[in-house]
């Protein structure tokens, strides 16, 4: 099978694409309008208290100066100056408490919105992965998807948590502070703002560099996740071939590349923050020099200069936060672009317009000139395949590797859609079924069985979790697994381990058969699902299933002729075409490819 790689590109977004990403994230935050309202209200109150503090400091300095100059004056004047100073100190205390309280409130609501949006995106992303088609999952690596679902969601959450309300806070603080400085002293105001063009230029260039860096870093972290996932999944192969050193070197190369990108990111951030702060302090020094001369000339009071310097000090923290904001915007842009690329995908396989929850009554199955080509393949995997199975009959399918056997199995539950020809169940096109109702009626037992990290009972009852315990036990008897389970200390509560590593291949296949029996499907497909089971056990399973599948339409795909020679009809596939069809005896009489395979297996293993 050839599948076109569909890994989503991690190229940096253009500026207009970044704007769309930010707009989309901000729209999501509007769902939490009350949190936004209280957060923004707290921002304005915090800004008011923050900018009131410099005014109070200026008045305090002037009051203290007046007190010193009036020491030899009247007692009433001295008392008035003291009272004024005490009152200003009281207002400073109240303003500081108010600033701290409302800052805490707006940070709380900002982080709360970020957490909610992170939760929402995680659920949306996980749901999307459940619905994306098999063709998509066949072309991407799970490590990349996991990285997007964890690191990219976290990047967006951090952007919302630290950026959206903070932008409003910094804008209001810097904007109002600038206005107050200009109106307080135009000359000093212009000098203090002289560093703004440099800050704007530096912030823009740093953001663009960081955005590209974040894309590259997130992509490299995806590769790290892929590498570790493959290594852990194939740890037995690694150990068997003594390839630990090779795997370590491979992982180290990728880790070194990720570390290099991280160091570049740190360098960009630290340089931008340092240069912006330096520009700020240079302008502050010039303000102090010019303002000091104005104080000495008597054009302004010491309190007014103090007030002005306090305004600049209040603005120092927002200026420093610009560096953090740049990083937050860059990461949010990169993470949003990567995550939304997945969320915007539409599954190739979905419920068609007008599809219904159809109840399968009989279970007849028919292929009418069905053809199929995998995406990225230039040749048809199956071509004009036609056959019909009556309810309760068994169809065997055999053929060399790559002849299209498993493809037929995957087309019936609509894991893929054929490129030509309809597939009918009870004379109804399967595209008229909802996917849920179709897959309740059709069960595929794969050769490569997957086990969840859960108990044996949970794995067996996965398709029918509300079934009673006795039904679970009966299904294991049919699959010739009950005797093994009863010997386990925890019996049906025994954990099978990640991906069923604690079970042998044959035990996993028998557990998968038990799971399919629990579903009680109308059509059951065994896709080489007894390959790891010995012939004797397979024969017992087949005998046990006879009574259960007497009314079930059964398809058996196998390389082992003993698994399907009892079928009502057998199809021999070669290069995607049915080259021979009939019962076991009829195919032997044809003296064709089926008989050649039969003779070959007889010669290798003795009489079947």
The CATH number covering residue 286 comes to 1.20.1560.10
Q: Is residue 424 part of a domain?
A: yes
> Can you list the residues of the chain whose pLDDT is less than 50?
1-13, 15, 608
Which of 337, 338, 322 lies closest to 204, judged by CA?
322
- pLDDT attached to residue 7: 42
- Same-domain status, 369 and 227: no
Picking from 343, 376, 408, the residue at the C-terminal end of a domain is 343
Residues 6+ apart with CB under 8 A from 310: 53, 54, 57, 58
Count how many domains the chain has: 2
Picking from 277, 310, 343, the residue at the C-terminal end of a domain is 343
What CATH number does the domain containing 527 carry? 3.40.50.300
- Same-domain status, 314 and 403: no
Which of 459, 439, 441, 440 lies closest to 450, judged by CA?
459
- pLDDT attached to residue 5: 40
Q: Is residue 305 part of a domain?
A: yes
Q: Is residue 501 part of a domain?
A: no
Sheet strands side by side (includes 428-429): 382-389, 365-372, 423-425, 428-429
Q: Is residue 317 part of a domain?
A: yes
- Same-domain status, 337 and 406: no
Compute the distance between CA of residue 314 and CA of residue 174 in angstroms, rounded to an integer.
Answer: 9
- Same-domain status, 293 and 424: no
Compute the distance between CA of residue 320 and CA of residue 174 in angstroms, rounded to an integer.
Answer: 12
- Same-domain status, 393 and 281: no
Helix 302-343 to helix 33-69 angle (10° resolution) is: 160
Which of 480, 441, 443, 475 lies closest to 459, judged by CA?
475
Q: Is residue 185 part of a domain?
A: yes
Q: Is residue 515 part of a domain?
A: no
Q: Is residue 321 part of a domain?
A: yes
- Same-domain status, 376 and 233: no
Q: β-strand 428-429 against 553-557: which pairing, if any? A: unpaired
Range of the domain at 89: 28-343
- Same-domain status, 302 and 370: no
Q: Are 603 and 596 in contact (CB under 8 A)?
A: no
- Same-domain status, 133 and 255: yes
- Same-domain status, 278 and 407: no
Residue 150 structure tokens:
């964890």
- Same-domain status, 308 and 419: no
Residues 6+ apart with CB under 8 A from 26: 164
Compute the distance between CA of residue 460 and CA of residue 481 in angstroms, rounded to an integer.
Answer: 11
- Same-domain status, 372 and 286: no
Q: Is residue 316 part of a domain?
A: yes
- Same-domain status, 449 and 408: yes
């Amino acid at each position: 099978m050839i599948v076109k790689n569909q890994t989503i590109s991690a190229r940096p977004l253009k500026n207009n694409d970044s704007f769309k990403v930010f707009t989309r994230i901000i729209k999501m935050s509007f769902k939490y309008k009350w949190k936004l309202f209280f957060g923004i209200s707290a921002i304005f109150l915090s800004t008011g208290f923050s900018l009131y503090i410099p005014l109070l400091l200026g008045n305090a300095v002037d009051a203290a100066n007046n007190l010193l100059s009036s020491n030899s004056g009247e007692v009433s004047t001295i008392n008035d100056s003291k009272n004024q100073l005490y009152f200003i100190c009281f207002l400073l205390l109240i303003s500081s408490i108010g600033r701290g309280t409302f800052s805490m409130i707006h940070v709380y609501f900002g982080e709360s919105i970020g957490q909610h949006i992170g939760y929402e995106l995680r659920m949306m992303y996980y749901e999307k992965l459940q619905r994306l088609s098999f063709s998509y999952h066949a072309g991407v690596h799970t490590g990349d998807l996991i990285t997007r679902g964890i690191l990219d969601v976290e990047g967006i959450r951090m952007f919302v948590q630290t950026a959206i309300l903070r932008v409003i806070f910094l804008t209001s603080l810097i904007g109002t502070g600038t206005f107050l400085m200009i109106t307080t002293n135009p000359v000093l105001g212009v000098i203090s703002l002289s560093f703004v063009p440099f800050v704007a230029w530096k912030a823009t260039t740093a953001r663009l560099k960081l955005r590209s860096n974040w894309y590259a870093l997130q992509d490299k972290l995806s590769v790290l996740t892929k590498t570790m996932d493959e290594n852990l999944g194939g740890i037995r192969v690694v150990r068997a071939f003594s390839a630990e050193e090779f795997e370590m070197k491979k992982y180290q190369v990728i880790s070194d590349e990720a570390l290099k990108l991280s160091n570049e990111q740190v360098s960009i951030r630290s340089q931008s923050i340092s240069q912006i702060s330096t520009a700020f302090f240079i302008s502050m020094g010039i303000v102090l020099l010019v303002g000091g001369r104005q104080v000495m000339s008597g054009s302004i009071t010491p309190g007014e200069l103090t007030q002005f310097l306090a305004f600049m000090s209040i603005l120092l923290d927002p200026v420093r936060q610009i560096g953090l904001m740049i990083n937050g915007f860059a990461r949010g842009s990169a993470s949003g672009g990567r995550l939304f690329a997945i969320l915007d995908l539409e599954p190739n396989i979905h419920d068609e317009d007008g599809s219904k929850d159809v109840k399968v009554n009989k279970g007849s199955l028919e292929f009418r000139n069905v053809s199929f080509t995998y995406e990225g393949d230039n040749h048809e995997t199956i071509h004009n395949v036609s056959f019909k199975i009556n309810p309760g009959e068994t169809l065997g399918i055999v053929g060399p590797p790559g002849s299209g056997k498993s493809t037929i199995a995957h087309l019936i539950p609509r894991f893929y859609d054929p490129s030509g020809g309809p597939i009918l169940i009870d004379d109804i096109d399967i595209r008229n079924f909802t996917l849920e109702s179709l897959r309740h009626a059709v069960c595929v037992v794969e050769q490569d069985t997957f086990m969840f990290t859960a108990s044996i009972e949970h794995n067996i009852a996965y398709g029918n979790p509300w079934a009673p315990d006795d039904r679970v036990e009966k299904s294991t008897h049919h699959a010739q697994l009950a005797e093994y389970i009863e010997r386990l200390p925890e019996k049906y509560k025994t954990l099978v381990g990640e991906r069923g590593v604690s079970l042998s291949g044959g035990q996993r296949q028998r557990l998968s058969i038990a799971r399919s029996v629990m579903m009680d499907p109308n059509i059951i497909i065994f896709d080489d699902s007894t390959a790891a089971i010995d012939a004797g056990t397979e024969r017992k399973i087949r005998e046990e299933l006879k009574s259960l599948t007497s009314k079930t339409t059964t398809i058996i795909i196998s390389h082992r002729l003993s698994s399907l020679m009892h079928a009502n009809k057998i199809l021999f596939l070669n290069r995607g075409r049915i080259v021979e069809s009939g019962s076991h005896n009829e195919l032997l009489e044809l003296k064709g490819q089926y008989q050649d395979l039969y003779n070959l297996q007889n010669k290798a293993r003795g009489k079947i």
